[in-house]
Structure 1
């Protein structure tokens, strides 16, 4: 059902965010003041009220959040599309357990809104695959997701 609004993640969304997955994140661009949308996959919900994600600490996402903490994550799950909005901040500038220069960002959720258009449902969720060395990708993904779970 479209346009339901919750103050935190509902159970199917919480479960969806227990593993790496494709989402987009919208921030306010620090230079233009307009919207900026990026795709990320290293995302994890430690509880129903917060989301962690990891990105390169030189990323435009990080610069944007430092300038304006308001963000929205677009999640396709539970046969629908959700906008998860809240305030973000850089929790860790560089995750020590990971060989890349990744920042750990925390979002404090304000609202979870079902934004799927009326009379429809998602029949197939987006899938992606890493295009570099599969073994190296799996090792890095495991390191990053472990760091997010232990944050």
Structure 2
């Protein structure tokens, strides 16, 4: 069976990306030319062709994107693993109404590929816990997600 390839997000993936979600982001390292993978969680599907994510202004991710705008977002959802390939651009240097200096990055999707190996499915998705002040984390997460929705 050939893994499914789509030009945009399917509904279950779009729905998953309406809230904070653990994903990995692959960029091309501007110093080594090799792959660079980071875990991020402030991710939002603006529509079925655009994904936003927020990262600290000092993140190496931003320098990598400014040198090579090709990215891959790896998402575990819908009982599978998806590789979302696209072109990234810094949309906003500093998200308003957020206490941290976060940049907003827009990814225009080129391809969404189901990359789960044959004959299997995900039965448990990644869970994580914030290790700092829970109320502060919830407030910050809410501020970031609301700012991304307004962008």
TM-score normalised over the length of structure 2: 0.98
Q: Give the structure 1 partner of residue 150 of structure 2.
A: 150
Q: Give the structure 1 partner of residue 25 of structure 2.
A: 25
Q: Give the structure 2 partner of residue 52 of structure 1.
A: 52
Count of aligned positions: 151
**Any unmatched runs of 5+ in structure 2?**
none
For 1:15-38, what per-residue CA distance to the aligned partner results, in whole angstroms no more than 9, with x for missing partners? 000000100000000000000000
Q: CA, structure 1 residues 44+2, in 2 after alignment: closer, same or farther (shift >3 Å)?
A: farther
Counterparts of 2:2 and 2:51, CA distance in 1: 23
Counterparts of 1:148 and 1:14, CA distance in 2: 15
Q: Secondary structure at the match of 2:8?
A: coil
For 1:68-115, what per-residue CA distance to the aligned partner results, in whole angstroms no more than 9, with x for missing partners? 000000000000000000000000001121110100000000000000
Q: Which runs of 4+ in 1 moved over 4 A?
A: none
**Any unmatched runs of 5+ in structure 1?**
none
Counterparts of 1:2 and 1:128, CA distance in 2: 32
Q: Secondary structure at the match of 1:47?
A: coil
TM-score normalised over the length of structure 1: 0.98
* Mapping for residues 1-151 of structure 1, pairs under 5 Å: 3-151=3-151
Counterparts of 2:20 and 2:128, CA distance in 1: 11
For 1:39-61, what per-residue CA distance to the aligned partner results, in whole angstroms no more than 9, with x for missing partners? 00000001000000000011011
- Offset at 1:141? 0.2
